[in-house]
Amino acid sequence: MPVVGYAPGAYDMFHIGHLNILRRASEQCDLLIAGVVSDEVVREAKGKLPIVPFAERLEIVRSIRYVHNAVPDLHTDKFDSWRELKFDVLFKGDDWRGTERGIKLEALLSDVGARIVYFPYTVQTSSTALRKAISSPA
């Protein structure tokens, strides 16, 4: 039976960190679904809107060769995403590891036979770092 992976993210200002996550995730599953988080969910989670519009972010991620399917992610709670997609593995940045949300999600996914694989968070190439660099005077 094929292993279905799910890699949710805002994928704002697509950069090498995003590509690395999708590449590494695709190596650990047979079918990779990328969830592109909606503008509303990004605003709720991060307190600001993405720079790149949702439709463009979805098309960019959909075009990456490591991604078998890209879908809108309308959930702040990734267990709701599991209910919808029934993935086997959720790929997240390791900034989630050990957090209250991460621990709760690990337990919920474990109860349904799914798991989380954490990847190192790439601070130097994050969208947050890019946003700061763009807004800083030269």
Whether 133 has a pLDDT exceeding 60, the answer reads: no
Whether 52 has a pLDDT exceeding 80, the answer reads: yes
Please state, in angstroms and as integers, the Cα–Cα distance from residue 22 to each residue in 70, 74, 77, 98, 101, following that order. Answer: 11, 19, 20, 22, 22
* pTM to 2 decimal places: 0.88
> Distance (Å, rounded) from C-alpha 29 to C-alpha 55?
26
Predicted pLDDT at 94:
87
Predicted pLDDT at 59:
98
Average pLDDT over the chain, rounded to whole? 91
Average the pLDDT over 74-84 and give the result.
96
State both tokens at 31.
């079918």
Q: Which residue has the higher pLDDT, 131 or 85?
A: 85
Q: Which domains does the chain have, with CATH numbers?
A: 4-135 (3.40.50.620)
Predicted pLDDT at 120:
86
Q: In what order do the strands lie in the sheet with 69-73?
A: 69-73, 31-37, 4-9, 89-93, 115-119
